[in-house]
Amino acid sequence: MFSAWCLLVPLSCALSAVPAMISSVSSDVSVMEGGNVSLFCTARGKPEPTVSWRAVNHPAKKYPSGEQLDIRGIAREQAGEYECSAQNGVSAPSTKTLRVTVNYPPTIREMKFTRSALTALLRCDALGAPTPAFEWYRGSKRLTAGHGTRIQTLGSHSWSWH
């Protein structure tokens, strides 16, 4: 006669939790106004992290969750910092920030002319990205500083005295 004994030993396995960690994120990006932008953010962790996006300058704006954020027909107002956040409930979210620059051609916002008895002051206020460079002309002749002409540029403003 043959007999067998069977011994049952309870087995347990522990799944260790791993905090969310961003493993790669897009570099800063520069795009022309009206163009399309794709930002990427990948993360690891256990359980699998959820990746979300937010525009730092516009916190009320909601974006869909996911490793890729697509912005179609980007406008200059959408330029700024974007934050990628990965979280899985194990610890505080892992975050990375990148900058989106939206380039657009210069436009003159305001041009003023003021004249006094001895001088004339011209002021030009322009917007553009990158910041516009200013050149002053009288007719087709470019004006340069010197011989009674002073030119000053500060950011998006330029002044010329004669």
- Asked whether residue 8 is domain-assigned, the answer is no
Last residue of a domain, one of 57, 77, 103: 103
Q: Is residue 43 located within the same domain as residue 53? A: yes
- Supply the CATH number for residue 28's domain: 2.60.40.10
Is residue 35 within 8 A of residue 103, CB to CB? The reply is no
- Quick one: CA torsion of 143, 148, 154, 155, rounded to 10 degrees? -10
- Asked whether residue 30 is domain-assigned, the answer is yes
Q: In the prediction, which pLDDT does 144 show? A: 81
Q: Is residue 51 located within the same domain as residue 126? A: no
Count: domains in the chain: 2
Q: In the prediction, which pLDDT does 88 show? A: 96
C-alpha span between 72 and 98 (Å, rounded): 18
Q: In the prediction, which pLDDT does 97 show? A: 97
C-alpha span between 157 and 4 (Å, rounded): 95
Last residue of a domain, one of 59, 88, 103: 103
Q: Is residue 24 located within the same domain as residue 98? A: yes
- C-alpha distances in Å from residue 58, one per residue of 47, 63, 78, 85, 150: 30, 11, 8, 16, 40
- Enter the pTM of the model: 0.74
C-alpha span between 112 and 118 (Å, rounded): 17
Percent of the chain with pLDDT over 70: 86
With the C-alpha atoms ordered 40, 42, 48, 50, is the resulting torsion angle positive or negative?
negative
- Asked whether residue 1 is domain-assigned, the answer is no
Q: In the prediction, which pLDDT does 137 show? A: 84
Q: In the prediction, which pLDDT does 130 show? A: 92
pLDDT for 100-153, tens place per residue?
999 999 988 877 777 777 777 778 888 899 988 888 888 898 878 777 777 777
- Asked whether residue 89 is domain-assigned, the answer is yes
Q: Is residue 143 located within the same domain as residue 98? A: no
Last residue of a domain, one of 81, 103, 125: 103
Q: Note down the domain range covering 87.
A: 18-103
Q: What confidence tier does 40 reach under pLDDT thresholds 50, 70, 90? A: very high
Is residue 130 within 8 A of residue 161, CB to CB? The reply is no
Q: Is residue 69 located within the same domain as residue 134? A: no
Q: Is residue 156 located within the same domain as residue 123? A: yes
More confident residue, 50 or 6: 50
pLDDT above 80: residue 13: no
Q: Is residue 91 located within the same domain as residue 150? A: no
- Asked whether residue 156 is domain-assigned, the answer is yes
